[in-house]
Amino acid sequence: MESQPARQITGLTWVALIIFFLILILNVPLFIRMPLATDVVLYDLQAQMALNDGVLYKDMFETNLPGIVWLHMLVRSLVGMSSDAIRIVDLIIFSGSALLLMLWNRRNQLSTTGMIWIGIALFSFYFSISEWSHFQRDTLILFPALAAVRLRRRQSDQLIENRQTAGKRSFASVWGWAFLEGLLWATAFWIKPFVAVPALCVWIGSLFIIRQPKKMLIDFSGLLLGGLALGAAGSYWMWQNGAWPAFYETFTEWNPEYVAARKAGWEPLRFAQFLYRFYPWVFLHLIAVPLALIAIRDYWKYRGNSERDTLVESGKRDSVLLALLYLGWVVQSFAFQHLFDYVHPPSLLLAITLIGGYLDNRYQNEALNWGWKSGLAFFLMMVVLSFPGFKPNRMMLWKTCLLNSSNAELKSQLALLVQVDWKDLDAVKQFLQSQNLKDGQLHCYNSTLVYLYPELAVRPATRFVFFDSVLIFCPNHRNELYKAVNESQQKYVVTDLIDSGFNRQMALAVSPDPKQTTPTDYPVSLKGAYPWSHPVVFRSGRYLVHKIERPIGRFAGVGNLPTEAQVKEYYRQQKKKKQANQSN
């Protein structure tokens, strides 16, 4: 039960509420007009293909389970294909997750003011991270995961209270709620299977909380069958759709290479860049992990000293379940996945909730000492100084974002992660529109160029939409990739020099030779190499449009694009080696 002080509305409550609304009013228009991540566009393409009777995995390569594509199929069928619409859906789903997190600690006497401040922190964090993390699988699955944990909490409450009152819960009741929870976990699993780690942590923790083996066996059977039911439904969809053989091939022959490469990106420089992009929020883990471990320790210590469960325990159980969910999420994020930004927001959202509940409890008990106060003030200062929404150049765009839909100009100004030069890419789009391209005639070599396909309303030349990524992560399948390129009907291939290894200065440089369209360091001497040896018919900044000439040529390796100097040195060494062999 909640105490009276926790329910009180004070002056601080109104201050927090005003700040909350101001944060939303300031950031929502900017958020909606931000660009989409490349992954979101890829899933849109796959969803469109599937809705038009295409076969997932066969007609368009994908390394993940199909749950995210199903979600895109549903969302796009309802709201259309605009980037603004899907960002609104993203905000709605995130708001649902945020609401569940804000309400979680209420049985721990979380005050209304504290609940609002947790909401402020959750939304401020989400508005501060780049578009790479928006409408991504990891954050999307947080909503069904939180709903499942609430059902786990309900199941625990009912079983413990029944034991206290010597009541009996029917088999159907225990099994039914567990079955529903299993459906929720399976929903998240189909979107991203790594959710199994926090799910397992929560369920194992509930075993020790409930301590009723017979009831937990019933609970487990319902949970398992709920997951299997949705698993069977999804598998049936793939089978009747014709996707199952290609799905099986992808997961048994292609994915092992992709999974093996997950640690390749964990380099010191990339990790430092990751810390910078999540600054200062990432440092919350340093506080949240110890708090989670302490919550678990204190609960087991309390249980060890108590012969019977009491209703007072409900808040303690909530703390343990949240701690287990958080720790499980942290483990799978850092131990099992690639170092991609979109992997980490859920664990930080859980960290905010965990820390927020702890601080509110200390504040109400007047135990917030100078150390906590000074640390909180310092963290707040870092958040304010780094918060994108408070930057003058973004604040000046508020009215424009409110009154206009997203366009290349707005995307260029609002993007927090500069993966794309939107104005230059728009120029490429204008050129390609003049070529009257048909399906299969355009190939975007780099994944950063995926936006061109929906903008031009053409299907990719091959089933490998993120072509360069597959080439890098699956080197043992180069023959299949080459065959796909060679047999395609592509007329133009677009390349991104920065994504191919040139730095920005090299990529944007202009050659002193007026006849050379490409930058000074571009390997013009490279012969027979796809796509670099094909003539450049249009350039806009870092982007090149090559016109395909047959034969297609060979791949020029899987690393960075060589410079002209490196190519000349290579040819010189080859010539020297050939002369040495002839002399021998």
Q: What share of the chain has pLDDT > 70, as a percent?
A: 95
- Give 105-129 as a DSSP string: GGGGT--HHHHHHHHHHHHHHHHHS
Q: Note the pTM of the prediction, 2 decimals.
A: 0.93
Over residues 197-224, mean pLDDT = 92
- pLDDT band for position 307 (50/70/90)? low
- Distance CA(282)–CA(275), nearest Å, equals 7
DSSP state of 251: I
| The pLDDT of residue 539 is above 90 | yes
CB-based burial label for 369 (10 Å; 0-12, 13-18, 19+): exposed
| The pLDDT of residue 306 is above 70 | no
DSSP state of 552: -
Residue 500: C-alpha distances to residues 246, 293, 372, 449, 503 (Å)? 29, 44, 47, 12, 9
Q: In this predicted structure, what is the pLDDT of residue 523?
A: 93
Average pLDDT for the chain: 92
pLDDT tens, residue by residue, 43-93 = 999 999 999 999 999 999 999 999 999 999 999 999 999 999 999 999 999
Over residues 394-411, mean pLDDT = 92
- pLDDT band for position 135 (50/70/90)? very high
Over residues 398-415, mean pLDDT = 92
- Distance CA(281)–CA(350), nearest Å, equals 12
- Distance CA(346)–CA(353), nearest Å, equals 11
- pLDDT band for position 8 (50/70/90)? confident
Count how many residues are written for the chain.
584
Q: Which one, of 72, 11, 8, lies nearest residue 36 by Cα?
A: 72
| The pLDDT of residue 276 is above 60 | yes
pLDDT tens, residue by residue, 211-252 = 888 889 999 999 999 999 999 999 999 999 999 999 999 999
pLDDT tens, residue by residue, 411-451 = 999 999 888 999 999 999 999 999 999 999 999 999 999 99
